[in-house]
């Protein structure tokens, strides 16, 4: 029901139709715009999950965009990574920039916008592409730390990977960052891609998380689907994909989307 509701309602329907009308082409002339990818949590530890965004980078290049990756920490907090994003954008010379955030990378970018609203680089940001965005915290983090034992357990896991407990604390939905309304610069466009699966579509590594947060509504194994859609811009729902965003639809969808983005 959620998938069909998003698919049919404006402005989502017009955006979906516009993207789907684009032809798939693997060769475009260069365009004066750059895609900057903000990777997901654990991108340095498990790039094979797609957390590093390499699949999107390759397609964006074929569609004529310059592409770069902002070197956020694989297990950095949103506070730490927002600072890295600020520094990277200050040194970026491209005049037209699109941010392509993956999973928690979107939380890190949201934190950047909130912590550094007067950064000069914001004027050069054309828009924000939010893919499976953890933009308001994750109910999985809430579930994992709801008891003292859970907080101790996941604190120990963080230390095992060389991270602090602030990583989990900032991913909870009750963290002050996510309690504030998102204030987007007026000139910046926003597009969301949200995975909407059934339980049968969830990969084995995510199924326990999916079940744990199912009482909150349809989810992708990490975040409630509705929370992954940014207000202020249209969304494209991907049926049958989970939070890892693996589906036969994804590759052709990205070719069409980047072709669409050339005209924005």
Domains of the chain listed by start with CATH number: 2-137+183-261 (3.40.50.1820)
The per-residue pLDDT for range 210-240, each reduced to its tens digit, is 999 999 999 999 999 999 999 999 999 999 9
The C-alpha atoms of residue 178 and residue 21 are separated, in whole angstroms, by: 35
The C-alpha atoms of residue 171 and residue 138 are separated, in whole angstroms, by: 6
Q: What is the pTM of this model?
A: 0.95
| Contacts for 241 with CB less than 8 Å, ≥ 6 apart | 195, 196, 197, 201, 220, 247, 249, 250
Per-residue pLDDT of the chain (264 residues; tens, 9 = 90+): 999 999 999 889 999 999 999 999 888 999 999 999 999 999 988 888 889 999 999 999 999 999 999 999 999 999 999 999 999 999 999 989 999 999 999 999 999 999 999 999 999 999 999 999 999 999 999 999 999 998 888 888 888 888 888 999 999 999 999 999 998 999 999 999 999 999 999 989 899 999 999 999 999 999 999 999 999 999 999 999 999 998 899 999 999 999 999 999
């Amino acid at each position: 029901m959620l998938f069909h509701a998003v698919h049919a309602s404006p402005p989502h329907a017009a955006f979906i139709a516009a993207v789907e009308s684009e032809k798939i082409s693997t060769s475009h002339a260069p365009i004066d715009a750059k895609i900057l990818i903000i990777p997901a949590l654990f991108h340095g530890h498990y790039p094979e999950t797609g957390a590093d965004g390499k699949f999107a980078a390759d397609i964006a290049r074929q569609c004529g965009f310059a592409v770069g990756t902002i070197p956020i920490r694989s297990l950095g907090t949103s506070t730490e990574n927002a600072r890295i994003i600020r520094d990277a954008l200050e040194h970026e010379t491209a005049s037209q920039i699109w941010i392509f955030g993956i999973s928690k990378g979107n939380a890190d970018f949201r934190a950047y916008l909130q912590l550094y609203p007067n950064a000069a680089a914001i004027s050069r940001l054309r828009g924000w592409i939010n893919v499976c965005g953890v933009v308001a915290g994750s109910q999985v983090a809430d579930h994992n730390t709801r008891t003292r034992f859970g907080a101790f357990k996941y604190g120990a896991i963080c230390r095992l990977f060389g991270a602090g407990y602030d990583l989990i604390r900032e991913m909870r939905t009750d963290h002050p960052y996510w309690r504030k309304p998102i204030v987007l610069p007026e000139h910046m466009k926003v597009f969301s891609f949200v995975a909407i699966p059934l339980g049968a579509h969830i990969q084995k590594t995510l199924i326990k998380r999916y079940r744990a947060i199912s009482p909150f509504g349809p989810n992708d194994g990490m975040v409630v689907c509705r929370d992954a859609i940014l207000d202020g811009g249209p969304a494209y729902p991907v049926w049958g994909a989970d939070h890892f965003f693996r589906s036969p639809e994804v590759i052709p969808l990205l070719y069409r989307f980047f072709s669409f983005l050339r005209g924005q």
